[in-house]
Chains A and B, each alone.
Chain A
Amino acid sequence: MDTGTAYGLRLREPNLDLAQVGPGTPYGEVLRRYWQPVARSDEAITAPKALRILGEDLVLFRTRRGAVGLLHPRCAHRGASLYYGGVEEEGIRCCYHGWVFDPRGHCLEQPCEPELGLHRERIRQPWYPVQERYGLVWAYLGDPARKPLLPRYDTLEELGPGEHLIVDDTGVGGGGPALLDFNWLQHWENVLDPFHVPILHARFSGFQFTPEMALMPEVTFEYTDRGVRSVQTRELSDGRRLRRVTEVVFPNLRVVASPRLSAGRTNIIGWVVPLDDTSFKIFTLARDTDPDFLRKLRSTHDGRPWAELSEAEHQMMPGDYEAQKSQGSVSLHHEDHLTITDQGVAMLRRMMARQIRAVAEGGHPAGVVFEESAATIRVEGGNYFEDGPDAAGDGSA
């Protein structure tokens, strides 16, 4: 008799405690305890922009005086969306009856009411705090009593001569749309899965990065105060040793050095920001003398970018997008069979679970900062070459 057939297959579920991001969900509450990048600064203009972040619909705008606002879209008066509003000097005016709200939700004017609203100061449009830094708009969607500082990242501070700060939200370097249409965790935990690189990005698809990345690495994993780190060692054919350090920093930062193997500490970091449970964006920041650095890093095939490849080519040369998207809109984590090379993924999931418990029990999750003296985060990720000309490069982790 045949055994192990798919007849009657009953699959187990996703781990929603880790994957879901909406208000009140376990990890959604963890994500809300940190500042999140929600848009490029140049997207905050006097035309209202509809945003969806962590399962919440919001409206982003910039007043004519330059202040950025992020408001709940349903007007506190009778519910018309502020997406259709008009932005003025001090705030945004609802298209329906003209109520005006400033970026902190204060109602400034109710033009149909006597004296522009006798009780307008008692009205508050729900809002979120925002800050601008590194060319991004950052928002804090969590408990106001526990709002931390917006951190700085040492690799983005003090640009060198001729260097530009590059802001990008066009998706995964290896290919895929700007708006990624599956659960964010599938991408984030891929950061701690270095063993897929020689398979997916080399054996299957040719050298999507470099020939060195096709070598199966020896990997050490470790917890850090802020996340999980892997150090991947590859013995290169020229006698050098490559130590490639990759990190995840809670709650959703990815520190992945250039797969083209630029030497030294990474000049690229990126946030995996869930729009909801089944879509996310990646906000990437980089520093380089070439403003086109990130675009040039993107994988191409015969000079053609991912979007121009046919379905048959995607099937022949799958990349990160094909692998992660095909895990499902939300992967069935309880069906996974973690094994030797999944240590990083298992450690990440466990650290996520610890943060869930910490937040549920009233504590702070890993890495939130409240003191200015601790507000600059050191990034350790990078490509460090040993026994070669770059051996004296920036301090390897």
Chain B
Amino acid sequence: MSGYAARLPAGDRPLLMLGISGVIALEDPVVPARTVRLTAWGRWAREVAVPEVAADRVAELAGLFQIVWVSEWGHVAHEAFREVLRLPEAPWPFLPAQFDKLPVIRDYAGRRPWAWVDEPVADLAGPVPRSDGGVVVRVGAGAGISEVDPADLARRVLALR
């Protein structure tokens, strides 16, 4: 692998590797969602549907995990979603990957326990990847992060230790 070296996570909380498409930005929403126009640093804009619960759910997860964006949105993720998700000013680390994310996640996490929440499209046509080192969660692209139970996810990750 060449090029980008991700910033290391702070603290010692477990890592939550979070996809964007189908997780924060829904596809054909089946849960209450609002359409927001996103941009970051100008030049481009997109309208996406974000679950009504997303900001609270992300905040709850951020209290349990160190969140790392793992998506094709790259460093745009935090900037673009900062307002709608009420994110902290300092961006969270990110891994710029759209597909075949597991090797990137494992390399980044090292020995630290992790969970990875994403939509099935991230696996292309393949099965959900498995890893002994972490918890892999798939959510429907119409509901996204609404389907994640933070406390349950934290328990499952702690059980890895």
Contacts and interface: CB of A to CB of B under 8 A. Distances in A.
Interface stretch (A108-116, A248-256, A286-294, A339-347): A339-347
Nearest to B97: A334
Interface stretch (A71-79, A164-172, A216-224, A389-397): A216-224
B2 A339 contact: no
Interface in A327-343: 334-335, 337-343
B125 A356 contact: yes
> How big is the A interface, by class?
20 to 34
A90 to B, nearest CB: 42
Interface residues of B, number: 28
Nearest to A340: B76
Contact of A338 (B42, B43, B74, B124): B74
Interface in B32-76: 40-47, 72-76
A42 B65 CA distance: 64
Contacts of B42: 218
Nearest to B76: A340
A360 B98 contact: no
B44 A343 contact: yes
Contacts of B3: 335, 337
Contacts of B120: 357
A26 interface: yes
Contacts of A26: 124-125
A343 B44 CA distance: 8
Contacts of A353: 99, 121, 124-125
Contacts of B1: 10-12, 335
A17 B121 CA distance: 12
A357 B124 contact: yes
A203 interface: no
Interface string B1-25: 1111000000000000000010000
Contact of A195 (B4, B43, B73, B75): B43
A85 B2 CA distance: 52
A23 to B, nearest CB: 15
Contacts of B98: 338, 346, 349-350
A219 B44 contact: yes
Contacts of B47: 222
B2 A343 contact: no
| Most chain A CB atoms below 10 A, which of B45, B46, B120, B124 | B124
Nearest to B80: A340
A202 B1 CA distance: 31
B121 A337 contact: no
Contacts of B4: 337
A15 interface: yes
B141 to A, nearest CB: 8
A353 B125 CA distance: 7
A15 B99 contact: yes
Nearest to B5: A4
A356 B46 contact: no
B93 interface: no
A354 interface: yes
B83 interface: no
A334 B107 CA distance: 15
Interface of A: 9-12, 15, 17-18, 26, 195, 216, 218-222, 334-335, 337-343, 346, 349-350, 353-354, 356-357, 360
26 contacts: A11-B2, A15-B99, A15-B100, A26-B125, A218-B42, A218-B44, A220-B45, A221-B44, A221-B45, A222-B46, A334-B97, A337-B4, A337-B96, A338-B98, A339-B75, A339-B96, A340-B41, A340-B44, A340-B74, A341-B43, A343-B44, A346-B73, A349-B72, A353-B121, A354-B121, A357-B125
